Chains A and B, each alone.
Chain A
Amino acid sequence: MSGVLEIRGLDKRFGGIVVADSIDLTLAAGRVVGLIGPNGAGKTSLFNLVSGVFPADAGSISLDGERIDGLKTHKRAKRGLSRTWQNLRLFPSLSVLDNLMVGPRDYPGEKLWRLAFARTRVERAEGQARRRALEVLERTGLVGVAKTRAADLTFGQQKLVGVARALMNEARCLLLDEPMAGVEGQAYETMQRVVRDVAASGVAVCVVEHNVAFIRDLCEEGVFMFAGKVLARGPVTDLIADPRLTELYFGT
């Protein structure tokens, strides 16, 4: 199976602590893979390695067949890799709309010389970004708070803004880090629908989540990580039913 994102033999150590131990993982277009495991298993670290927050010691990461492991974080995003953060990392001083409008893959307004000499291109991109942001806000049920400062929203709404902002990239591969932690009620339903729709549009999605029901409902495949290693993979129901993994998860 050829995937959108291919991780081969990924290693990372911080001193004596192993956060990634020859990890192989393939994310295919249109599929949602659930990454499960106890705290400290290396799930978020894997996302950080893939998105380039810190470099891997060894191994390769390819997006659509091209190596991205040597690239800086922003270059990986420009290739079509998008992610959210466990601890949100929104831009609190900006409105929800502005949070999203920072996110398009192409953003000519970040270059001073373009502001001076290519205003039409900048303005065109701004128009497109605004339309796309409003469309994403519509899908995530956030249109009503478009002008509200991100810091003033409820936690569930902030989580949705994080995902909505990640969608602005029109990414080929989307990494969601605990999208459901602290999310209840209406936002929960919306989140589930949004993730399902994104995958249905052909994006390769990977979700780190402790909410087993959410993973079971959404993911075709689960990957169980422990101490930086992939211990098991397969249908989520099988992983949940495996007493060996349950023991590792709860640490009995």
Chain B
Amino acid sequence: MEYVYTLIILIALSVILASSFNLIIGYAGLISIAHPVFYAIGAYASAILARDHGVPVPIAMLLGAVAAMLASIAVALPSLRVSGDYLLIASIGFQLGVLEAIKNVSFTGGAGGLTNIPPFLIQSVGREAYVVLVVAVAVLTVLLTRVIAHGPYWRALSAMRDDELAFGALGRNAVAMKVAVFALGSALAGLAGALYAHYFRFVTPEQFELLQSAAMLTMVVVGGMRTTLGPVIGAVLLQALPQAITFLDLPTALLGPLQGLLFTGLVLIFMFWRPQGLVAAGEFWRPSREASDVGRP
């Protein structure tokens, strides 16, 4: 039973990560690879606050989300003021830098990882309670993306992606919107990290490297970018698939590279044959491809 609970928690965490990444890369059109690092910041901040500073776990979890949010604003604000492309470069640097820092300072446990993270709910109430908590956060995340993906905010985000200059000349503040979505998405990733840390009670910097970035991107692309349900389906599939591979009895040295190949292969296949993902996002895809011919008589 514990295996099933763990699987449900991993899937729910992936749903939170993929949905929040969809906000950033899909709805706001911000290209960043650093989502796993905000996941890591949430996990480490919450774990260290609870373990070494006696902060009650629920508060530590929220502070983990806040830490991820603040870090994301620090990355996004300077780069987005210049242009969206700079965010990609800044995110790569940030991802590598933070993970390197975690590996090389002592209070994070270094490359060996952080152990003995205080548990939450599992011993006092039971494992089921924690499963309910994580699933509830995942459901709330999906509902939140639904609110953002409809009505005036959706309209403004779509307009901003279509033409930022015209969007600004209408009185809309593109930089503020981008930073807000980036901060919200990263805070959710941080919360997911905190939920991970206090369940598995052990985190290492390796878990948050490029393979995770690829996994999150694959979930969003395969499921369907700019849809509410796409990242959910992508997350379930992409969590189940590696689990299935582990049953193949392959040597562990092969498993990591195989997963990486699988993720990039899937992204390529979907980009060529079904760019809208499994759940199609209506007409959102066509226009961006046709945008270049708009404006010609």
Which residues in A have some Cβ–Cβ distance to B below 8 Å? 51, 53, 72-74, 77-78, 82-83, 85, 87-94, 98-99, 101-105, 107-112, 115, 122, 125-126, 149-151, 155, 158, 165, 168-169, 182
Closest to A159 in B: B297
Q: Could you tell me if B184 and A112 are in contact, using CB atoms closer than 8 angstroms?
A: yes
User: Which chain A residue lies CB-closest to B181?
Assistant: A112
Sampled A-B contacts (29; CB under 8 Å): A51-B169, A53-B165, A74-B171, A74-B172, A85-B169, A88-B294, A89-B165, A89-B295, A90-B294, A91-B158, A91-B159, A91-B163, A93-B162, A102-B155, A102-B159, A104-B171, A107-B152, A108-B152, A109-B152, A109-B156, A110-B172, A110-B173, A110-B176, A112-B181, A115-B148, A151-B294, A155-B296, A158-B295, A165-B170
Contact of B155 among A109, A111, A149, A169 (CB under 8 A): A109
Chain A residue at minimal CB-CB distance from B177: A110
A-side contacts of B151, CB under 8 Å: 109, 115, 122, 126
Given A72-B168, A83-B169, A112-B153, check contact A92 B162 (CB 8 Å).
Answer: yes
* Least Cβ–Cβ distance between B232 and chain A, in angstroms: 22
B180 touches A112 (CB 8 A): yes
Chain B neighbourhood of A99, CB < 8 A: 159
Is B147 located at the chain interface by the 8 A CB criterion? yes
Residue tally, chain B, CB below 8 Å to A: 38
Q: Tell me the bound Cα distance from A88 to B169 in angstroms.
A: 13
Q: Give bound CA distance, A170 to B264, whole Å.
A: 49
Given contacts A88-B294, A92-B294, A93-B288, contact A110 B152 (CB under 8 A): yes
Please measure, in the bound complex, the distance between the C-alpha atom of A104 and the C-alpha atom of B295, giving whole angstroms: 23
- Number of contacts between A and B (CB, 8 Å)? 126
Asked whether B170 lies within 8 Å of A102 as measured between CB atoms, the reply is yes
B163-A107 in contact (CB<8A): no
Contact A110 B290 (CB under 8 A): no
Knowing A85-B166, A112-B184, say if A93 contacts B287 (CB, 8 Å).
Answer: yes
Cβ-closest chain B residue relative to A102: B159
The contact of A90 among B166, B171, B172, B286, by CB within 8 Å, is B166
Q: Which residue on A lies nearest to B157, using beta carbons?
A: A110
Which residues on the A side are within 8 Å of B147 (C-beta)?
115
Closest to A162 in B: B166
Judged by a CB distance under 8 angstroms, whether B167 is at the interface is yes
User: Which residue of B is nearest A104, CB measured?
Assistant: B171
B83 to chain A, nearest CB (A): 14
Whether the Cβ atoms of B168 and A74 lie closer than 8 Å is: yes
Q: Is B254 interfacial (CB-CB < 8 Å)?
A: no
C-beta contact mask, B130-155 vs A, less than 8 Å → 1, else 0?
Answer: 00000000000000000110011101
Minimum Cβ distance to chain B for residue A176 (Å): 13
B153, B159, B170, B180: which contacts A94 (Cβ < 8 A)? B159
Chain B neighbourhood of A109, CB < 8 A:
151-153, 155-156
When chains A and B are docked, how far (Å) is the Cα of A78 from the Cα of B173? 10
Is there a chain A Cβ closer than 8 Å to B284's Cβ?
A: yes
Complex contact B169–A155 (CB within 8 A): no
CB A96 to nearest CB in B, in angstroms, measures 13
A87–B162 alpha-carbon span in the complex (Å): 14
**B283 at the binding interface (Cβ < 8 Å):** yes
Structural contact, B287 and A107, CB atoms closer than 8 A = no
B162 touches A107 (CB 8 A): no
